[in-house]
Structure 1
Amino acid sequence: MKHKNVLYIGGFELPDKNAAAHRVLSNGKILNELGCKMFYMGISHNEECDRNILKTKEVKNYGIDYKVKYPNSKIAWFNYLYNISSIVSLIEDNDIDLIIAYNYPALSLFKLYKYCRKQKIKLISDCTEWYVPQGNIFFKIIKGLDTFFRMRVIHPKLDGLIVISKYLNNYYSNKNKNIILVPPLIDLNDLKWNQKINYNNPVCSFIYAGSPDSKAKDHLGKIISAFKGVNKEFNFSILGITLEDYNKIWQDSPIPSSLNEKIKFYGRVSNIEVIKNLKKADFSIFIREDNLITKAGFPTKFVESITAGTPVLSNKCSNIDDYLIEGENGFFLDISDVSTLTNSLNFVLNQSRDLIDEMKLNCKKYSRFNYLEYKDDFMRLLSFHK
């Protein structure tokens, strides 16, 4: 494999503003260790972001960082969805010979595909979702066509695919021969994983970290309803949403006054604060429906919890059953209805402190999300000749 100048493009906001940023930087670290020079073109919500992409250049410890202003008008969205001039500028200015497109819009991706074919540049997609459009009929049609074209037509044509889940790996296995399955990855040397936390919970403590809304993958309201029937003392910390927001979204699952001291909302916090609070908890918890969105994706919060040393409580969604071993690093929840979910929580609350401590230690030793474990996969991806 020759050394390459690699450009990673997509809707990520470096270095840590969204889950996409964490994934992209972890993958980029692997490529850097394989001898690649990394360039990134993400997005910025800064109103002062220069329209000339070359003037946004910043040299970072993770590579060369460029940004496009997040589109906030119809014209800006059209340019983002169709115009690839900024990408071409970066390619020409930096002698790029490999592009990785993170969940990139179909029209731009197709134009980029044709451009790369002419210029003999490799193009790979990093695919982490299968979006199901919601909203008004016009948006559903546009977004539905975009998803169909990207997932079913363009991806099989590309020089390779990085997919996040077993579902996507199985779907593309006979459509694109150069494919690797890469879950969300972490760098254990990052300071946030090495924060020293005093861990001493008088009662079993649970944590949820996310920013759900009424259309979210996570069903926080069902979890709250199940906690109403548990038979032991507990604490439940909820990060990423306020009590007021919760009451607006889940009006049918209000929090009774008897649980006001047990369930606490903390609103939005930084990622480093999320990790700190995860480390303090006995268990993290989330549940998701079994649908195309959850099958195709993979929960980053699962990876963060295990790496923070906190066992996970969840239903079987995506392919987390490839990583969660009951009684070792978590438990599966029965979410058939609120009653069965309550029974699952009661089962967890009846576990001994010694077992919980042992499970937390098992999580700290778990290595399957360490980015160094995937160097051979990326080597194979880059060495493939179509």
Structure 2
Amino acid sequence: MTPKSNDRPVLRVAYVGPVDVPSSAANAQRMLGLAKALGLAGCEVVIGSAADNHEEAVAFASGTRIEYIRESATNGNTRIRRIVRGLVAGDRTIRWLNRLDPEPDVVILYGTTFSYLVRLLRWTRRRQIPLVLDVVEWYDPRHLPGGVLGPYAILNEIAMRYAKKAAGIIAISSFLADYYRRAGLPTVTVPPLFEPVASQPHATMPWNDGGSASLTIAYVGNPGKKDRRTLENLLSLPDALGSLRNAIRIRIVGVDRAQASAAVGRMPETLPAEVTFLGSMARTDAMTEVARADFTVLQRPDRRYTKAGFPTKIVESLILGTPPLANATSDLGKWLVDNENAIILVDDSIEALVEGVNRAWSSQGTFDRSAIATRAAKAFSPASWSGVLTNLLKDSMKRGL
């Protein structure tokens, strides 16, 4: 971790976790956003990527670089070996930390993966280095391999409590921040961070012009189990809209029809003509789909895991100037303003989505997309959070180990 000049950086930070960086995945984007924020504050950040990559260290941004630890399981492993590897991962990260010269002032761990947490707490205590956790989820045990009584679910519940032994917490939501703040930990709430988009968002033209135009709604991502409700509702939306169905276009990016069928557990024999599956695509192309849409959509149930997380999709949509149709889970109520930068849905039901789409249609393109993008660029910019993050790391160092 050699500084780029003779001046010592504000802090030397090692940022690690079970994440393949760089990639388009939300967890990788989270790490890159926080690393940029710290770099802008004068910190020297090295990201220990779990990616199975033979490349040498690569420069990422000012004061930041990525090194490859190869902690991830290889594609050639069997499913059982991948599960076992997932339960014991972290040993290569420790060996990598041992090689850093000079040692970091602070170690940040993305998430609360139990195998990482135990190893890193032991390593940082031996060296009197604070361990700060970037906590972004409280998983629903039903969503994890093995279900409620499986090893992942049990270890996750243990880890969320064991995390109170850390020196500080960067929480992605107020729900998580409040949980760890009650334990007396230095804690800050930091949403997903992204660099402002250079190009202007696509202008939205009025679509309610007598029926010749259409309203485009997009969903981008891998729905998994978290967004199953969103996908179900989108597939049901054309029939539920009645006479308005011919005026909407639904574009689903990230999964094809077969993958969507596996996600929802069922699929209509005849796919509504208004629904198009675009499958997986490069991040830049996916973001182009978001920018071209009139609205994005995200509906999640009111559960502990939705309160604890923060949907990256919403931030990406706002930065591109595309207002979301979404119910206010997590901290979204703090960032979304109905009829200004979003249409807020009352819940995750199909009825709520129909009501929202009808309101979207009636708005006739009156949302100021440039204003939405400008406000979001400032609110979620790494530069806006540099001081908050750096102060949290310094407070964690003062707390003692």
TM-score scaled to structure 2, two decimals? 0.83
- Contact conserved, 2:227 with 2:300, CA < 8 A, in 1? no
- Aligned residue for 1:124? 132
2:371 corresponding residue in structure 1: 362
Letter in 1 for 2:97: L
Query: Kindly tell me: are residues 196 and 85 of structure 1, through their superposed partners in 2, closer, same or farther at Cα, counting changes over 3 Å?
Result: closer
1:378 is matched with which residue?
Answer: 389
Q: Which residue of 2 aligns with 1:263?
A: 275
Could you tell me which residue of structure 1 aligns to residue 5 of structure 2? none
Q: Runs of 5+ in structure 1 lacking a partner?
A: 51-55
CA distance in 1, matches of 2:90, 2:225: 33
For the structure 1 residues 107 and 220, does the alpha-carbon distance in structure 2 shift closer, same or farther, using more than 3 Å as the test?
same
Give the superposition deviation at 1:3. Answer: 2.4
Match of 2:248 in 1: 234
Q: Who is 1:211 aligned against?
A: 222
Structure 2 counterpart of 1:342, from 337, 341, 354: 354
State the SS of the aligned residue for 2:67: strand
User: Aligned pair in 2 of structure 1 residues 376, 313: CA closer, same or farther (>3 Å)?
Assistant: same
Residues 125, 337 of structure 1: alpha-carbon distance in 2 compared, 3 angstrom cutoff:
closer
Q: Cα 1:254–1:79, aligned 2, differ >3 Å: closer, same or farther?
A: closer
Distance across 1 between alignment mates of 2:113 and 2:264: 32
Q: CA deviation at 1:164?
A: 0.3
Report Cα offsets for 1:22-72 as digits up to 9, x if no partner.
Answer: 111111111112222111112225xxx45xxxxx53132333322214225
Aligned to 2:73: 71
Q: Which amino acid aligns with 1:185?
A: L
The alpha carbon displacement at 1:284 in A equals 0.6
Q: How many residues align?
A: 369
Deviation at 1:344, TM superposition (A): 2.6
Relative to structure 2, which stretch is displaced further, 5-14 or 305-314? 5-14
Question: Equivalent residue of 1:61, what SS?
Answer: strand
Question: Aligned partners of 2:363, 2:42: CA distance in 1, in Å?
Answer: 48
> What amino acid does structure 2 have at the position aligned with 1:194?
S
Aligned to 1:12, the other structure's residue is in SS state: coil
- State the distance in 1 between where 2:358 and 2:323 align: 16
Q: Following the alignment from structure 1 to structure 2, what is the Cα–Cα distance between the partners of residues 216 and 337? A: 13
Q: Secondary structure at the match of 2:296?
A: strand
Q: Percent identity between the aligned chains?
A: 23
Q: How does 1:98-137 map to 2 (within 5 A)?
A: 98-134=106-142
Q: CA deviation at 1:224?
A: 2.2
Q: State the distance in 1 between where 2:175 and 2:147 align.
A: 29
Give 2:341's match in structure 1, choosing from 318, 321, 329: 329
Matched, 1:307 2:315: no
2:47 aligned partner = 40
Structure 1 residues 160-199: aligned runs within 5 Å: 160-188=168-196, 193-194=198-199, 197=202
Of the three residues 142, 146, 149, the one matched with 2:151 is 142
**d(CA) in 2 for partners of 1:311 and 1:198?**
12
Q: Is the 8 A contact 2:13 2:45 kept in 1?
A: yes
Alignment partner, residue 58 of structure 1? 57
Contact 2:317-2:324 within 8 A present in 1 as well: yes
Give the CA deviation at 1:105. 2.1
| C-alpha distance in structure 2 between counterparts of 1:241 and 1:114, whole Å | 40
Q: 1:21 is aligned with what amino acid?
A: A
Match of 2:66, SS state, is: strand
Q: CA deviation at 1:215?
A: 6.1
Structure 1 range deviating more: 338-347 or 163-172: 338-347
User: Superposed, which structure 2 residues align to 1:241-320 within 5 Å?
Assistant: 241-250=255-264, 252=266, 254=268, 259-260=272-273, 262-320=274-332
Name the Cα RMSD after superposition.
Answer: 2.6
- Note if contact 2:173-2:190 (Cα within 8 Å) is conserved in structure 1: yes
* SS in structure 1 of the partner of residue 240 of structure 2: coil
Secondary structure of 1:44 counterpart? coil
8 Å contact 1:13–1:43 — kept in the other structure? yes
- For 2:250 and 2:306, locate their aligned partners in 1 and report how far apart those are by CA, in whole Å: 24
Residue 228 of structure 1 aligns to a residue whose secondary structure is: helix
2:3 corresponds to which residue? none
Deviation at 1:197, TM superposition (A): 5.0
Shift, 1:226, TM fit: 2.7
User: 1: distance between equivalents of 2:27 and 2:198?
Assistant: 19
Pick closer, same or farther for the CA change 1:322–1:271 going to 2, 3 Å: same
